[in-house]
Structure 1
Amino acid sequence: MGPNPLLFGRYSFDVEVHDPSLRQVLCLKPVKLPHTFARHANKRFAKANVNVVERLANKLMRGGTGKKIGGKIIRTQGSLQGKKTKVVKILEKAFDEIHAKTRQNPVQLLVNALEYSAPNEDITRVRFGGVSYQQAVDIGTQRRLDLALRNLATAAIMSAFNNKMSLAGALAREIMLAAENNQDSYAVKRKNETERIARSAR
């Protein structure tokens, strides 16, 4: 057996995951190129076997935020939908920028960012006796990771929309902020807001 492949030929997947629940669902299988060509599509729970870097790429391939944020709906006019190779190149540029600025392994910073931006509580609507009210609930481990990935991708799309900053630069900035648990990070703010609303609904 030879050495494990490095992401983009440069970055190791030998990283630490401090959150014990996320450790169960974070797939860090060493790959050189995060692209499985939809091998896991339409299979139940198969996303747990997809490398987390590829899952972030998949989250970036969306038509926009899908809802109003900051008073406007952000759309990318399909510029990234289905363009996996283009998104993987954007990820590579973002990781190179992270490494150039921090001199740290960008895969480790991505894992740290996911740990700090994965909410633990959310709310659901409960109907009892004809009356609806909100109830705080714990979030499943897989959904915690899904929300963290989605918020990181949404933050990058929002920052790069109608802005001189490239999507790669916006993604690198968001990952670096979230990895430090910085409140300037959109993903961290969304996590704190979700948990605050859940606490009030206990």
Structure 2
Amino acid sequence: WSTDDVQINDISLQDYIAVKEKYAKYLPHSAGRYAAKRFRKAQCPIVERLTNSMMMHGRNNGKKLMTVRIVKHAFEIIHLLTGENPLQVLVNAIINSGPREDSTRIGRAGTVRRQAVDVSPLRRVNQAIWLLCTGAREAAFRNIKTIAECLADELINAAKGSSNSYA
């Protein structure tokens, strides 16, 4: 799929969602060292970040070819169901499902209060990817549907902003 017509509608997340021509990869498997520096992982292609975070829960660790296949199937399903660019659906889902504010613990003199804080753009992207993958994983567990179908549903629902998505 082409990356040219993918719009990122959120100004704050534009630097952190890597989908433009420079990051266009045929396979989301670049074996890059994205964790070496502090904000290096923002340069990682967004599809590959999705692929990597699908490799969760001990039994699936390190099985990247499996998750590449899952993401590929999910993108095919999204294209068939919605008829639009799956990359755009993914970007919209990430924009919609990242939290805009969070609470942190402020400890004063032994008492702990929760204080509302804004979420940094990189953390919004990270949490959005995590939520999407967790939702797809929980939907596919003890279920006939394949994980690819669940991931596709999750992305489509999150992109529409509907409430029955996990994120």
Residue 18 of structure 1 is matched in structure 2 by 9
Shift of 1:181: 0.2
Code of the residue aligned with 2:68 in structure 1: it is: V
Structure with larger Rg:
1
- Normalized per residue, the structure richer in helix is 2
**What percent identity do the matched residue pairs reach?**
42
Q: 1:43 aligns with which of 19, 37, 45?
A: 37
| 1:130 Cα deviation from its structure 2 partner | 2.2
Opposite residue 13 of structure 2, the aligned amino acid is: L
Give 1:36 shift.
Answer: 1.3
Q: Distance in 2 between matches of 1:38 and 1:163?
A: 34
Distance in 1 of aligned mates of 2:109 and 2:71: 50
Moved over 2 A (4+): 38-44
TM (norm. structure 2) is 0.94
* TM-score, scaled to structure 1: 0.78
Give the alignment of 1:6-155 within 5 angstroms. 11-14=1-4, 15-28=6-19, 29-63=23-57, 78=59, 80-155=60-135
Q: Quote how far apart the aligned CAs of 1:44 are.
A: 2.5
State the Cα distance separating 1:57 from its structure 2 match.
Answer: 0.6
- For structure 1, the 5+ residue unaligned runs are 1-10, 64-76, 188-202
Displacement, 1:40?
2.3
CA distance in structure 1 between the aligned counterparts of 2:124 and 2:33, rounded to whole angstroms: 23
Read off the aligned partner of 1:48 and give its amino acid letter.
Answer: A
Distance across 2 between alignment mates of 1:172 and 1:18: 21
* 1:113-143 C-alpha deviation (Å, 9 max, x unpaired): 1111011100011111222111001111100
Q: CA deviation at 1:84?
A: 0.6
- Three-state SS of the structure 1 residue aligned to 2:38 is coil
Matched AA of 1:137 = V
**CA deviation vs aligned residue, 1:54-102 (integer Å, no higher than 9, x gap):** 0001111010xxxxxxxxxxxxx60x21011110011000000010111
Which residue of structure 2 aligns with residue 5 of structure 1?
A: none
Matched residue count: 163
